[in-house]
Amino acid sequence: MPKTTSGDIIFKGSCRCTAIQYTSTAAPSDITLCHCHACQHLSGSSYLPFIDIPRESFTYTSSSTLKTLKLSDVAERTFCSSCGTPITMAYAFDEKRISVTMGSIDMQSLACEAPKVGQHIYLGEKAPWVVLPDDGAERWSTQEMAHLITFDSTAQGQGLEDLKIA
């Protein structure tokens, strides 16, 4: 993930109602399409696309309706409480990066090459009606950092709340 040394804004983004706005001084990673059940529920779709950037490059310029959602000890998500747009997800085990939803990025603001799909994750939870394209992207049943997440076998349920950081 290249970072500019001058602090120039590489891209901007916002929620649908624009109450939340942000900038990034780093170019985005390739796109990760997350097919987990949480992303399906929160997006109302079959997956949620994210890019990654260093946290230090991400700045909110307006955040009056920003809310945090913590479904588990694994990650924290943000969204707009006014229009519902999902904005970010940050894993507890990786404090140096933040994942930003592709739908919130202003693609016209990109001052770098547009990201391409690099991986599909949590395909073990993929919606059964989705047919994956032959896009050459990596495919993970869980995700590439799954070794940092463990399941608590003493927990009662099968939901996200049962995931624990290793």
Taking only the tens place, the pLDDT of each residue in 94-128 is: 999 999 999 999 999 999 999 999 999 999 999 99
Domain boundaries, the chain: 11-165
CATH number, span 11-165: 3.90.1590.10
pTM: 0.82
In the Cβ-directed half-sphere of 130, how many Cα atoms lie within 13 Å? 18
Residue that is written with structure tokens 């590489």 in the block: 10
pLDDT per position as a tens digit, 145-161 = 554 444 443 333 334 33
Give the CA distances from residue 136 to residues 78, 114, 116, in Å, rounded to whole numbers and listed in that order. 30, 17, 11
pLDDT per position as a tens digit, 125-145 = 999 999 999 999 999 988 665
DSSP string, 127-144: -TT--------EE-SS-T
Res 26 pLDDT > 60: yes
CA distance 56 to 72: 24
pLDDT of residue 74: 84
